[in-house]
């Protein structure tokens, strides 16, 4: 059998002869191997769009990081020291009024900590538990260390962004945001 004759062979998907095929297949016989070849080739073409989407996403991240202003976190007064009791907390917006919510927690007479309020898993608001020294996310039971903002349990893998603080003359100031990956 020559190579040209081999090219003409068409085999139905179940491997049986054309006479054994159901009527609808006999009525509309097609070149099945060529059909499979074209289907796979088109699937490769479709996957190329997925690849393009990932590449576009990468460049979108790069572009948005270039556009993000680096000097946006300026000093801002949050509250008077006496307005937050020991073990208490306060939600505030920083650095702008339309920024994501931040959480200020007073650990003891001298110590304040502040983090972004959104869990790094799926952005649910976290709740401080000063007695246990934890920040708790009720959505998926995520737990962060109150002292460092690092994840202790649950699905979150990234620490909460920390707001750096300064206490001067009885006023708590936010001085910057420290984003971290570990």
Partner 1 sequence: MKKRSRFARSQRATIVIGILSLVVIIIVLQLWLFTATMNAYLGGDTAILLPAAIASLVCLGLNVGLLWYLYGLER
Tell me the C-alpha distance between 87 and 84, whole Å.
8
| Cβ 84 to partner 1 shortest distance, Å | 27
Task: List contacts with partner 1 (CB under 8 A).
Answer: 3-4, 6-7, 33-34, 36-37, 40-41, 43-45, 47-48, 50-52, 54-55, 57-59, 61-62, 65, 120, 157-159, 161, 178-182
Tell me the C-alpha distance between 113 and 164, whole Å.
8
- In the bound state with partner 1, the residue whose beta carbon lies nearer, of 24 and 46, is 46
- In the bound state with partner 1, the residue whose beta carbon lies nearer, of 23 and 41, is 41
Query: What are the start-end ranges of the H helices in the chain?
Result: 3-8, 23-27, 32-67
| Cβ 135 to partner 1 shortest distance, Å | 17
Whole-angstrom distance between the N-terminal and C-terminal Cα of the chain?
66
For residue 27, how many other CB atoms are within 10 A of its CB? Answer: 8
Tell me the C-alpha distance between 164 and 162, whole Å.
6
| Cβ 59 to partner 1 shortest distance, Å | 5
- In the bound state with partner 1, the residue whose beta carbon lies nearer, of 89 and 159, is 159
């Amino acid at each position: 059998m020559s190579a040209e004759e081999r090219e003409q062979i068409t085999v139905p998907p179940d491997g049986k002869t054309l006479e054994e095929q159901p009527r609808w297949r006999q009525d509309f016989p097609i070149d099945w191997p060529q059909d499979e070849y074209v289907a796979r080739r088109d699937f490769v073409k479709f996957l190329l769009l997925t690849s393009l989407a990932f590449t576009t996403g990468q460049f979108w991240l790069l572009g948005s990081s270039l556009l993000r202003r680096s000097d946006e976190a300026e000093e801002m007064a949050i509250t008077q020291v006496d307005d937050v009791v020991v073990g208490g907390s306060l939600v505030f917006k920083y650095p702008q009024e339309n920024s994501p919510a931040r959480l200020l927690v007073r650990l003891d007479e001298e110590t304040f900590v502040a983090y972004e309020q959104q869990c790094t898993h799926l952005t649910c608001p976290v709740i401080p538990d000063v007695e246990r020294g934890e920040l708790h996310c009720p959505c998926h039971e995520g737990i962060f260390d109150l002292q460092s903002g690092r994840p202790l349990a649950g699905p979150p893998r990234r620490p909460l962004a920390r707001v750096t603080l300064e206490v001067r003359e009885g006023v708590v100031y936010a001085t910057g945001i420290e984003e971290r990956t570990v």
